[in-house]
Amino acid sequence: MSDTLRLGIAGLGTVGVGVLRIIRQQAALLEARTGRKISVSAVSARTRDRDRGVSLKGYDWEDDPVTLATRDDVDVFVELMGGSDGPAKAATEAALKAGKHVVTANKAMLAIHGQALAELAEAQGLSLRYEAAVAGGIPVVKTLLEGLAGNGITRVMGVMNGSCNYILTRMESAGQTYQDIFAEADALGYLEADPQLDVGGIDAAHKLAILSSIAFGAQVDFHGIQLEGIERVTIEDIRAAADMGYKIKLLGVAQKTGRGLEQRMQPCLVPDSSPLGQLDGGTNMVVLEGDAVGQIVLRGAGAGEGPTASAVMADVCDIARGVWLPVFGQPATTLVQAKSAQSKTPAPYYLRMALVDKPGALAKIATVLGEAGVSINRMRQYEHDAASAPVLIVTHRTIPADLERAIAAMDGTGVMAGAPVALRIEEV
């Protein structure tokens, strides 16, 4: 265990630079904790001559990440390029085939190709670790894989895209529209080059798919996620939800049901006094529920140089210490292909609608809801000047199909001024 552990790092963006910084500045600490020196043999990135604020002196340069990944003097290939396919996947596969451990921050690659990569790594007896792929600096992968290994996991929830949470909390505090705050976030550089990865919920869904696999012993199934972004969240709904005691969050939820594995990433209401409701700005939060442990909440920075590099280094330290685990917590060949269940789990719902201002309008809506089996928990009609009256309803637990039936029937009542908004209220 006293040999030096030698890394090859592909990708020198924010995270790669952060990893180099830790390896240099904490050399003594890392050696004390792992019993080994940790060194960098070679690096690779798209452009060689760029001021990254950190010197690359002492590291060999490789133009081709595949060549880097398979060098004789590399024990661990650190993949920080990103992208589900292309060079990241090619170099990861090459590294594993060449007998190198892999540490990656690549959520897209794992969400799409996790099963095949895990099988490859395990067949080779190698580590494939990815703490940095989910929720940045929060050690949630380790917590699920190891810390809660004695639990049957019942539900995993999380706010795992800081940009979306920033937009939603900033809409509320500034009282501005989605379009305005989106533009502001984009100008501040908070969004991915393709912002749809953030606001469309795709990035967060990648993370949820990975956590689901660990939690439920299932093959990663990104395409089984019921996915909706935050583009349709309005300032009106944020205000109305607040008035009823809720916050709107882009919330990922995975739970095993009698019908299969339910995975959702969608705007949901959560109580404003809950830890999730109190999560402002770019911070991430993951809630893990186990049959023995109850509820564990983890909160921390979901992105950024230091936090993400911290997660990469946790994986590197584990490998240096000789820790080996199956990639998703149990051998990949034993992971089941879970049946994907679209949400049939009953939940309370938030309904916002505008009713034509004439006698009996509210009664008609209440009747339609009742006939569909949707029971009203709370209802508010607001004072208004316009021709239509704003109405908010919080339902009791409702089967989604019943709600859909009720909404379809509302259309025929003749008292709706526009389509209603329906959002799930997640019971946290």
| Phi, psi dihedral angles at 402 (to 5 degrees) | -65, -40
Toward a second copy, which CB reaches closer, 137 or 158? 137
Identify which of residues 62 and 305 has a Cβ nearer to a second copy in the complex: 305
| DSSP annotation of 416 | B
Q: Are 7 and 78 in contact (CB under 8 A)?
A: yes
Nearer of residues 76 and 138 to a second copy, judged by Cβ = 138
CB of 370 to a second copy, least distance (A): 37
| Residue 153 beta carbon to a second copy: minimum distance, rounded to whole angstroms | 10
In 3D space, the residue among 125, 193, 36 whose CA is nearest the CA of residue 331 turns out to be 125
The alpha carbons of the chain give a radius of gyration, in whole angstroms, of: 24
The smaller minimum CB distance to a second copy, of residues 297 and 399, is found at: 297
- Work out how close the CB of 223 gets to a second copy at its nearest, in angstroms, rounded to a whole number: 25
The answer to whether 374 and 409 have CB atoms below 8 angstroms apart is no
Residues 6 or more apart in contact with residue 385 via CB below 8 angstroms: none
Q: Which is nearer to a second copy, 300 or 346 (CB)?
A: 300
For residues 127 and 336, is the Cβ–Cβ distance under 8 A? no
Whether 207 is catalytic: yes
* DSSP of 144-164: IIIITTTS-EEEEEEE--HHH
- Please, what is the minimum distance in Å from the beta carbon of residue 287 to a second copy? 9
> Is 289 labelled a binding residue?
no
Q: What per-residue string of b and e applies to 336-350 under the rule 16 or more CB within 10 Å gives b?
A: eebebbebebebbbb
Calculate helix-pair angle for 202-216, 107-123, nearest 10 degrees: 30
Q: How far is the CB of 418 from a second copy (least distance, A)?
A: 37
Residues in the site for a second copy, rule: CB under 8 A? 18, 22, 26, 29-30, 32-35, 131, 137-139, 142-143, 146-152, 217, 273, 275, 278, 290-301, 304, 306-307, 309-314, 316-318, 321-325, 329-331, 334
C-beta of residue 17 within 8 angstroms of C-beta of residue 54: yes
CB of 373 to a second copy, least distance (A): 35
Q: How far is CA 408 from CA 364, 374, 403, in A?
A: 13, 13, 9
> Which one, 170 or 352, has the nearer CB to a second copy?
170
Q: Nearest 5°: phi and psi at 199?
A: -70, -20
Active-site pick, 207, 247, 249, 364 = 207
In angstroms, what is the minimal distance from the CB of 16 to a second copy? 14
Please check if 97 is assigned to a binding site. Answer: no
Quick one: 88 or 144, whose CB is closer to a second copy? 144
- Contact residues for 207 (Cβ-Cβ < 8 A; gap 6+): 107, 111, 133, 134, 135, 158, 160, 161, 252
Return the exposure string of 81-107: e unless at least 16 CB atoms fall within 10 Å of the residue's CB, then b.
Answer: bbebeebbbebbbbbbebebbbbbbbb
Q: How far apart are CA 162 and CA 136, in angstroms?
A: 10
One DSSP character per residue, 342-361 reads ---S-B-EEEEEEEESSTTH
What residues form the annotated binding site for NADPH? 107
What residues form the annotated binding site for L-homoserine? 192
Residue positions annotated with a catalytic role: 207
What residues form the annotated binding site? 107, 192
